[in-house]
Amino acid sequence: MSEKTAAETASTRRWFTLATVALAQLMVVLDATVVNIALPAAQADLGFSNGDRQWVVTAYSLAFGSLLLLGGRVSDLIGRKRAFIIGLIGFAAASALGGAADSFGTLVAARALQGLFGALLAPTALAVLTTTFTIPKERARAFGVFGAIAGAGGAVGLLLGGYLTQDFSWRWNLYINVFFAIVAVIGALIFVPTNKRTGPRPKLDVPGTLLVSGGLFALVYGFSNAETNGWGDFWTWSMLVASGILLVAFVLWQRRAKHPLLPLKIVLHRNRGASYLSVFVAGSGMFAVFLFLTYYLQTSLGFSPITTGLSFLPMIACLVLAAQLGTNIFVPRFGPKVLVPIGMVMASAALAWMTLLDLSSTYAANILPPLMLMGLAMGTIMPASIQTATLGVDRQYAGVASAMVNTSQQVGGSISTALLNTLVATAVTNYIASNIAGATTPAAQAAVAAQAAVNGYHVAYWCASGFFLAGAIMAALLFERKASIHATLHAAHATAEQHRENDRQADASAATAG
């Protein structure tokens, strides 16, 4: 086989690897929202209370958020291909268990198992992408696709969830993962390369794992509890205090551990730190769009679940378009220091625009324009941030560095869930208290309640808009200039080529010895 043919074959194989990884990432990301649409139907079928309903969502987020760093490190230790396949099979099995659930307890247990295997699968998928695509031009295209999926997965989940729930059954929101996983496992067996370890087998940082897993669990649980039981509840503030103590202890331990779970140099690297913060901001701000705009469309304007899902399609199209243009044209030319702040400002403007929505708004004239602008913004932020977050990382730490991307997004979403819901609830209560006295008929009282909900959504949009604006300033200050990014990219490419050459020499030596 000629060198040219071998290079073309390797390139084709890499794109099939991308398709496999993208499918797995889509499965994990959309599962965070696809089940939300199915909750009312599942509640009616299994007969659990409104108070228990939150645990179907929380069980997943607790396991997923608290175990992400461990999952990323495990993929570094046992090999990314093996971890990827284990994650796919485990996620599919947990999804099948949830789809067949005949009780509330079984459904919650299945969701927790989904979170556990998702915590292994998500960082492994990104690590496979990071170590597979090292040629700068190919890397840009690959991360454009991956970033688009990371940003649009939630909206796809709303669309798919509405369709499956309305035309089939809520159980198919879970069963569908089995089909995704079968295709992805076949692709992984054929196309995902087996990473070879050189040198002694690395060890797992057990104290660090316990500290960070406990800290992240307490953090996610504390904010989830605040959403339902308030900030004064014992379990809310005690868990948040415990989280702070455990995470500080984790950082101190990482400074002295022989085999740290998360070497601090990964996070303290200027570009990677800026990328993690950007993903955190994006994950937090997007919650305002997916949750409150969904509520607005269904409860205020009366859209059906599937119509609500379809309403997000233009945003997805704009996100994909911006992701491809950004990673292939604009990021190589201007770098994340320019692109990410621009995306943040666009997102801030889109959310500010949404504060103009009211009970008489129409989709085409009032909702579609800011929704499309939000898609363009997320397509500008996410691919550039994710690509930079994993750029130049030593491949022995690719898994845990990738896990930090997912951790940033998950923690950002958990925090914004609690904060924005609290602010919205307070705004709704205050509006009703101020205006209910003049409503003397049931119709007038219903009108006050409907307007109160819209005013509450406006508070969420303004807060998220301000958060994105602060993120724009942060990104502009922290990201390095384009020249530094290019130097790191070419150094990473040279290192990857050296690793591949070492692997080829090792294979040749083994064949000769055999």
Domain match, 217 and 94 both: no
Specify the range with the lowest mean pLDDT, choosing from 158-167, 414-423, 425-434.
Answer: 158-167
Domain match, 119 and 157 both: yes
197 assigned to some structural domain:
no
Domain match, 345 and 214 both: no
Domain match, 249 and 267 both: no
Domain match, 305 and 383 both: yes
Structure tokens at 16: 């099939």
| Residue 485 reports pLDDT greater than 70 | no
7 assigned to some structural domain:
no
Going by pLDDT thresholds of 50, 70 and 90, the confidence category of residue 355 is very high
Going by pLDDT thresholds of 50, 70 and 90, the confidence category of residue 64 is confident
Structure tokens at 54: 């939150």
199 assigned to some structural domain:
no
Q: What is the mean pLDDT of the chain?
A: 80
pTM of the model: 0.77
Q: Report the pLDDT value the prediction gives residue 482, as an integer from 0 to 100.
A: 64
Structure tokens at 491: 């150094």
| Residue 505 reports pLDDT greater than 80 | no
HSE of 50, CA atoms in CB hemisphere, 13 A: 2
Q: Report the pLDDT value the prediction gives residue 195, as an integer from 0 to 100.
A: 65
User: For the chain, what is the domain count?
Assistant: 2
Q: What is the CA radius of gyration of the chain?
A: 23
2 assigned to some structural domain:
no
Q: Over the stretch 290-308, which tens digit does the pLDDT of each residue have?
A: 778 888 888 889 887 778 7
Q: Distances in Å between the alpha carbon of 188 and those of 123, 142, 414, 422, 450?
A: 15, 17, 31, 43, 49
Domain match, 173 and 236 both: no
Domain match, 252 and 267 both: no
Q: Where are the alpha helices (DSSP H) in 47-103?
A: 50-78, 80-99
Q: Point out the domain boundary residue: 243, 260, 277.
A: 260
Q: Report the pLDDT value the prediction gives residue 196, as an integer from 0 to 100.
A: 60
3-class secondary-structure state, position 24: helix
| Residue 249 reports pLDDT greater than 90 | yes
Going by pLDDT thresholds of 50, 70 and 90, the confidence category of residue 243 is very high
Query: Average pLDDT of 367-387?
Result: 90
Q: Where are the alpha helices (DSSP H) in 171-304?
A: 172-191, 206-229, 234-254, 264-268, 270-287, 293-295
265 assigned to some structural domain:
yes
Q: Report the pLDDT value the prediction gives residue 199, as an integer from 0 to 100.
A: 52
Domain match, 227 and 106 both: no
Going by pLDDT thresholds of 50, 70 and 90, the confidence category of residue 153 is low
Domain match, 165 and 248 both: no
Domain match, 377 and 317 both: yes
Q: Point out the domain boundary residue: 244, 260, 276.
A: 260
Q: Point out the domain boundary residue: 240, 260, 280.
A: 260
41 assigned to some structural domain:
yes
Taking the CB of residue 197, how many other CB atoms lie within 10 A of it? 13
Are the C-beta atoms of residues 385 and 243 closer than 8 Å to each other? no
Specify the range with the lowest mean pLDDT, choosing from 24-33, 102-111, 258-267, 378-387.
Answer: 24-33
Instruction: Write the burial class of residue 368 (CB in 10 Å: 0-12 exposed, 13-18 middle, 19+ buried).
Output: middle
221 assigned to some structural domain:
yes
Domain match, 175 and 251 both: no
Domain match, 52 and 78 both: yes
6 assigned to some structural domain:
no
Whichever domain contains 437, its CATH number is 1.20.1250.20
Specify the range with the lowest mean pLDDT, choosing from 34-38, 111-115, 497-501.
Answer: 497-501
Going by pLDDT thresholds of 50, 70 and 90, the confidence category of residue 200 is low
| Residue 489 reports pLDDT greater than 60 | no
Q: Over the stretch 424-467, which tens digit does the pLDDT of each residue have?
A: 888 888 888 888 877 778 888 888 888 998 999 999 999 999 99
Q: Over the stretch 274-288, which tens digit does the pLDDT of each residue have?
A: 999 998 998 888 776
Range of the domain at 155: 12-192+261-507
| Residue 371 reports pLDDT greater than 90 | yes
Task: Return the percentage of the chain with pLDDT > 70, whole number.
Answer: 85
The set of residues, in sequence order, having a beta carbon less than 8 Å from that of 336 and lying 6+ positions away, is 271, 274, 275, 278, 384, 385, 387, 388, 475, 479, 485
| Residue 493 reports pLDDT greater than 50 | no
Q: Over the stretch 82-103, which tens digit does the pLDDT of each residue have?
A: 889 999 999 999 999 988 988 8
Q: Where are the alpha helices (DSSP H) in 355-397?
A: 368-389
Taking the CB of residue 203, how many other CB atoms lie within 10 A of it? 10
Going by pLDDT thresholds of 50, 70 and 90, the confidence category of residue 201 is low
